[in-house]
Structure 1
């Protein structure tokens, strides 16, 4: 019948009449059998045909038992089908004829899950036997490959010759012997000898490179030049040897435990050569900077910058070579050290790239294009204000070609400008507790430093009738950093010492209790100390230059130094490097938080305040986000202690995403109304302030002042903390956006067409207030049907339906990101 399945004859054992084996392998006692009844098709006697071949993820490897006779065809049977056998697809991976080994190693091509092999015929089970399950079939195949008879007979041979490492080595040596005339063993031995020789010869090169780098760090130019020349010579010698051994390196690539090791070490040598070349160009720039006739600081700086610019490509190439090296191929005892050095070198390259990008900006800042005047604002974080601390002192500095032309530190501090200010304007409302008129010393009201700087320049211009090219805010903690590098400042006249541990407290005592205060020159000590400290920096030992640069960079990152320049191009560069102290913009669906404290009439009590911020964001099933922020302030001062044991009076502001809705707030304490001073009626409203603080209104329930500033919503209220006590305030608000799920398709959807995920993203940006000592923690909570998928951010620990940020010191602006799925 057309279309009917043809019944196939199934061969059986002539001894026991069972399928799956033949008479030669039958476990039953042998019986006399007529030879004419034997199966003619011996080539298939060890396999049982199935309806499908199994799918495999790796090549099948097995042994084929060679026989020394040919199968015989019975004259009574006809083969009516064209048969394709599994063995037809098997190819030999070693020579076809092997007189020494009884078994030949074969490997079948990988099968990509076909429904059935092309050209094969599905077999029906015999009348008296049911079709076996795939699991049983696999067991039969496994038995064929790893059968007891094979294992027992050939276990010694397999153990000796076909262990994982030996098999790879033998295959490689066989391949070498086929391709290369002559004994493979001699090449292998030559390769090992070459490797050992190269390693030994490269030691001098690496040592010279280390000497060159150390000498450069210590500014020992003579030693650096000598070590650099020696390193270049040594590296070139080793690399020439490698070039001569190119053939052996090719052979090494196929030998286990040799090729990878030698290749990695060669890359280390190449990276070392690149670093040495980079050091040479950097050294050349430094030497040329010292040989300039009548050099200015900016001219010398420009020459050094040229050296950095020239050396940078070599350092970058070395960094790329390091990235390609697998540390696992190196000796175990050197792996951790190499990985640490790789990270260190990458950071060094980044620093050089930063300096290279900053080159033009640095020359502009240091007066390379003409004289520049800057206002230096000294802030005391012990009396915290929005940008870092109360601005009790300031200086005017003029710079040209990198040299300080003039430095003026008024002995009376910022109060010296009070009598010179020609404008009378009302201050921000909270400042009325200290002054009815807005003046220079209170200019740093805005946490966005560029805005504060512009207002500072406004006050200076309306006091001196001159302008400046920029404002640099320097916290008192920077003085402690400097003294840790240059050493203590000894004031013989006053009989005191300023060191890195006690400088702020010592200065504060002199300013508040010293004899100069009686003659309205409380800041005279700064005028006396500044020139001496600058002189110490200029005469700094070469070994301390790099630590000085590192600590200044750290101060910039942590907003202990904030800079603003009126030149737009320069300021844009400063913004890009994160040194401007600005309030960062946030994306439409990004959570944001900045807590800003302003100590008003609380003396220096912030030195004794420890603050913690606890944040929580709860995502509702509809995507609404309710955020809660709890600020805890503990006063560790002793009541009655001068300056530090005073009541801490803090106007606290919370900056959150623009459009956030305040739901509740609690824990506030208002100062006595009698403490506020009413401005004169004829004082003008400040237009600049009105442009910054918009949409001002009070929350009727809590008295919280709500404004819109810097594209953020601001909640402001009072927190008063007595010595030995703890205050805690809480804000709860609804974010202006919803966390919405987006359907993301898996890359395998084209195959399975049903696997899809809904993903939602939450991101939190937290900015640190300059000068604050704060710890931060947070919890992000999603509905229970959501699960964490991905996270990024320091200290972020995943939970089943969200994440937790463990309490941590908030020392810089930080972003945390979380992706949830359901």
Structure 2
């Protein structure tokens, strides 16, 4: 530096100093400070006087010119040094802020008791003078003591923090200690004032993104609902569009969460809980579902619509499903893994419904594919086939679904109808053609003294009834058939709901789903030609027109909707199938469309309530039924069942079709070997209303084959028999218009919920207490079969456990009231549930 100065300035260089330090050697701070002011320290002469410390500096007094030049030079150097230290100053500010935060956090967690001042410490060293004993202080709670300590601890922590900042400033920036205090204060104040501005803005931005995420959540919920609704309607193209939009919303939400994933705790919990975890799975599920529906919709559009046989259409639909199903499986798997409980409550119900719908869709489409293959075969995809179709009127309930009011002989080949014959008189046209006269089951004597085709569906097991129907058909001189198909009137209503109105100019009317029942009953029972005496001719004319409307549906979406209607009818027992071909019949049983009485395990409770309208008109259309089932488990493990049947006749006595009394022969099928304990609420029709059969009438071989022979309970008059590996309790229930009938049966099951163990020894009791092993395990399972054709029915089941028993597992949702467990079962199909309980 000196070499670069002009010659005139070199003479102004300060002369060497002589420093005497009274009290010790110079400190590094002293020497550094003096050297920074431009004084070379050449001579240091320390000595230590006994009582005082002072510094003496001597040098030659500079001239005025030297002083001014020196001041200018000093200010220039100082300015340059401070300019270079600005970045360091910023780092120091950040460090000081961090130190302050750490100090405050430590102070809050570990409050420090105030230390006595130096003055107090000095006084404490003096000899103590006698003072009176202090009064005992009132004990203070820990919170109060902490309240008194924390201000002093805060003061101490702040003082320590400021001192640390001063030292950091002096050491890092090489600033005069006096100046560093001011600089420290400036930095702290600047940070306190400036930092909240961007932090507040940043938090506002996070809140805005949180609100956007919440908005996306509403849009996602709406999209799931809309897409599911379109899918349920068979609108696959529209469903694909809705799910695609929903997918875009979910991906947008996922991108927003990805941007702020490290800051999610700053957002409200209701809007962020579980979103980041569940959105990837929801995205995968929606992608798979959208692509599946889009591919399926495109495949349906590519199916040729002109001159295509129905079996070929079914084949094309199955090919489209084969491409679609893997993606539907993937979507179902992704949705199944989602946890609705991890989302905000606003969206939990929507996601739960979507999960159920998509899982059901996966199962239904898989089964629908198998049903389609099955339908193609029975429709003659490989060869021509002939079937006897019986139309059952569920307004007059019978064991398999309804009274046989009409029937048809159908020939099909490659799905095309080659021949359809519907007798105008229905089954009554064959009354005089029977080769044999058969004695009917005893309850049917209320109507007729002999058994005929219209009453042949007496057995709730449809394969058995179908064999009886075929027996009557063939013994009337009719051709043999490949099977029997039962179709309920309620299914025809559902088909008409998906078809244009059927015009019948001959009758000057049109038939729709809304008026089908009334028009059909009026034409068949009131307005038919009494001279011609063909009351079922209207149905014979209507059926081909309905089939024609169905054949005119060339749009794949419409064809698929009709196919889905048939599929649902099969699953709900509105269509029941019996085939003479063993392979076909086995497949029908596998699909659960054979209408057979269910086979259950020996230790499974079983209930099948079967209604049979005998002479009660069409009143079952206005009768509502509720079945209450209660299984009470006794202390010894035995199970006592009570079944209560409540039937309400909602018709009026003056109504043409619904004003008659409802006369119902009621059969309750329970596990084989059950013991009837009590029955009440039943009423037997007057014996004079029954006909007597001729002694020479033959007995049906099927009556003997199902071992229907039984006995009557002396107390209640209940008929007890065994059929289809079940025990049957049968009685009459008579309900007048506007009234309610309630009947009850109580019986003991042939098995126990648990087997009581013998009284344990002292050692075994001790082992059980130590191992906490349960004394007994209780298990209970119920299977409820639904009668085809019965639609206005509620089913409630209750299990009553012994005292001190606690349920540990259940397969269905229950309402629990102490030891009573109640659940509501499906009214449109078979139901089952199971539970387990332990005795502590």
TM-score by length of 2: 0.66
Looking at structure 2, the residues matched to 685 and 477 of structure 1 have their Cα atoms a distance apart, in angstroms, of: 34
Does 2:819 align with 1:801? yes
Range with greater deviation from structure 2 (695-704 or 335-344)? 335-344
Residue 685 (structure 2) aligns with: 671
Q: CA RMSD in A?
A: 5.0
Q: Which of 688, 691, 695 is equivalent to 2:705? A: 691
Q: Which of 718, 721, 733 is equivalent to 1:707? A: 721
Residue 476 (structure 2) aligns with: 463
Does 2:664 align with 1:646? no
Pair 1:195–1:566, CA change in 2 (3 A): farther
Looking at structure 1, the residues matched to 229 and 827 of structure 2 have their Cα atoms a distance apart, in angstroms, of: 34
Residue 390 (structure 2) aligns with: 377
Pair 1:294–1:768, CA change in 2 (3 A): closer
Pair 1:786–1:533, CA change in 2 (3 A): same
SS of the residue 1:537 aligns to: helix
Range with greater deviation from structure 2 (545-554 or 446-455)? 545-554
SS of the residue 2:497 aligns to: helix
Pair 1:262–1:152, CA change in 2 (3 A): farther
Residue 379 (structure 2) aligns with: 366
- Aligned ranges for residues 264-275 of structure 1 at < 5 Å? 264-275=278-289
SS of the residue 1:625 aligns to: strand
8 Å CA contact 1:474–1:562 kept in 2: the answer is: yes
Q: CA deviation at 1:444?
A: 0.4
- Aligned ranges for residues 142-157 of structure 1 at < 5 Å? none
Residue 117 (structure 2) aligns with: none
Superposed CA offset, 1:507-550 (max 9, x none): 11211112334312111111211122223233446665565455
Looking at structure 1, the residues matched to 603 and 239 of structure 2 have their Cα atoms a distance apart, in angstroms, of: 53
- Aligned ranges for residues 285-304 of structure 1 at < 5 Å? 285-290=299-304, 294-304=307-317
Residue 411 (structure 1) aligns with: 424
Residue 447 (structure 1) aligns with: 460
Q: Which of 760, 777, 780 is equivalent to 1:759? A: 777
- Aligned ranges for residues 114-129 of structure 1 at < 5 Å? none
Superposed CA offset, 1:150-201 (max 9, x none): 798579999xxxxxxxxxxxxxxxxxxxxxxxxxxxxx99999999999999
The structure number with the bigger radius of gyration is 2
Superposed CA offset, 1:615-655 (max 9, x none): 33333322222323333434344446444323333222121
Residue 575 (structure 2) aligns with: 561
Q: CA deviation at 1:578?
A: 3.1
Q: CA deviation at 1:205?
A: 14
Q: Which of 477, 488, 501 is equivalent to 2:514? A: 501
Pair 1:514–1:660, CA change in 2 (3 A): same
The gaps in structure 1 that reach 5 residues or longer are 1-97, 106-139, 159-187, 744-748
Looking at structure 1, the residues matched to 318 and 484 of structure 2 have their Cα atoms a distance apart, in angstroms, of: 25
Q: CA deviation at 1:441?
A: 1.0
Q: Which of 434, 439, 443 is equivalent to 1:430? A: 443
Looking at structure 1, the residues matched to 652 and 339 of structure 2 have their Cα atoms a distance apart, in angstroms, of: 58
Residue 393 (structure 1) aligns with: 406
8 Å CA contact 2:387–2:481 kept in 1: the answer is: yes
The gaps in structure 2 that reach 5 residues or longer are 1-97, 107-140, 159-202, 758-766
8 Å CA contact 1:558–1:770 kept in 2: the answer is: yes
SS of the residue 1:463 aligns to: coil
Does 2:802 align with 1:783? yes
Q: CA deviation at 1:259?
A: 12
Superposed CA offset, 1:65-99 (max 9, x none): xxxxxxxxxxxxxxxxxxxxxxxxxxxxxxxxx97
Does 2:597 align with 1:583? yes
8 Å CA contact 2:225–2:350 kept in 1: the answer is: no
8 Å CA contact 1:289–1:301 kept in 2: the answer is: no
Residue 532 (structure 1) aligns with: 545
Looking at structure 2, the residues matched to 382 and 628 of structure 1 have their Cα atoms a distance apart, in angstroms, of: 28
- Aligned ranges for residues 57-456 of structure 1 at < 5 Å? 101-102=102-103, 264-283=278-297, 285-290=299-304, 294-325=307-338, 337-456=350-469
Looking at structure 2, the residues matched to 629 and 303 of structure 1 have their Cα atoms a distance apart, in angstroms, of: 49
Q: Which of 697, 704, 717 is equivalent to 2:731? A: 717
Looking at structure 2, the residues matched to 251 and 751 of structure 1 have their Cα atoms a distance apart, in angstroms, of: 54
Residue 115 (structure 1) aligns with: none
Pair 1:337–1:566, CA change in 2 (3 A): same
Range with greater deviation from structure 2 (771-780 or 364-373)? 771-780
8 Å CA contact 2:237–2:297 kept in 1: the answer is: no
Looking at structure 2, the residues matched to 629 and 703 of structure 1 have their Cα atoms a distance apart, in angstroms, of: 17
Pair 1:600–1:545, CA change in 2 (3 A): same
Q: CA deviation at 1:552?
A: 4.0
Q: CA deviation at 1:282?
A: 2.3
Q: Which of 627, 631, 656 is equivalent to 1:617? A: 631
Looking at structure 2, the residues matched to 606 and 537 of structure 1 have their Cα atoms a distance apart, in angstroms, of: 29
Does 2:572 align with 1:572? no
Looking at structure 2, the residues matched to 202 and 447 of structure 1 have their Cα atoms a distance apart, in angstroms, of: 50
Range with greater deviation from structure 2 (194-203 or 542-551)? 194-203
Looking at structure 2, the residues matched to 450 and 153 of structure 1 have their Cα atoms a distance apart, in angstroms, of: 91
Residue 813 (structure 1) aligns with: 830
Superposed CA offset, 1:490-522 (max 9, x none): 433323343333322321121111233431211
Does 2:786 align with 1:768? yes
Range with greater deviation from structure 2 (193-202 or 350-359)? 193-202
Q: CA deviation at 1:376?
A: 1.6
Looking at structure 1, the residues matched to 688 and 216 of structure 2 have their Cα atoms a distance apart, in angstroms, of: 83
Looking at structure 2, the residues matched to 815 and 222 of structure 1 have their Cα atoms a distance apart, in angstroms, of: 36
Superposed CA offset, 1:368-422 (max 9, x none): 1222222221111222211111101011222222222222211110112223332
Residue 488 (structure 2) aligns with: 475
Pair 1:620–1:485, CA change in 2 (3 A): same
Looking at structure 2, the residues matched to 721 and 494 of structure 1 have their Cα atoms a distance apart, in angstroms, of: 36
Q: CA deviation at 1:219?
A: 8.9
Q: CA deviation at 1:755?
A: 4.8
Q: CA deviation at 1:203?
A: 14
Q: CA deviation at 1:339?
A: 4.7
Q: CA deviation at 1:703?
A: 3.2
Does 2:620 align with 1:602? no
Looking at structure 2, the residues matched to 525 and 220 of structure 1 have their Cα atoms a distance apart, in angstroms, of: 34
Looking at structure 2, the residues matched to 461 and 148 of structure 1 have their Cα atoms a distance apart, in angstroms, of: 105
SS of the residue 1:295 aligns to: coil
Pair 1:104–1:649, CA change in 2 (3 A): closer
Looking at structure 2, the residues matched to 699 and 487 of structure 1 have their Cα atoms a distance apart, in angstroms, of: 54
How many correspondences in the alignment?
653
Q: CA deviation at 1:691?
A: 0.7
Pair 1:220–1:556, CA change in 2 (3 A): closer
Looking at structure 1, the residues matched to 615 and 219 of structure 2 have their Cα atoms a distance apart, in angstroms, of: 66
8 Å CA contact 2:224–2:350 kept in 1: the answer is: no
8 Å CA contact 1:774–1:809 kept in 2: the answer is: no
Q: CA deviation at 1:486?
A: 1.9
Q: CA deviation at 1:801?
A: 2.0
The structure in which a higher percent of residues are helix is 2
SS of the residue 1:480 aligns to: helix
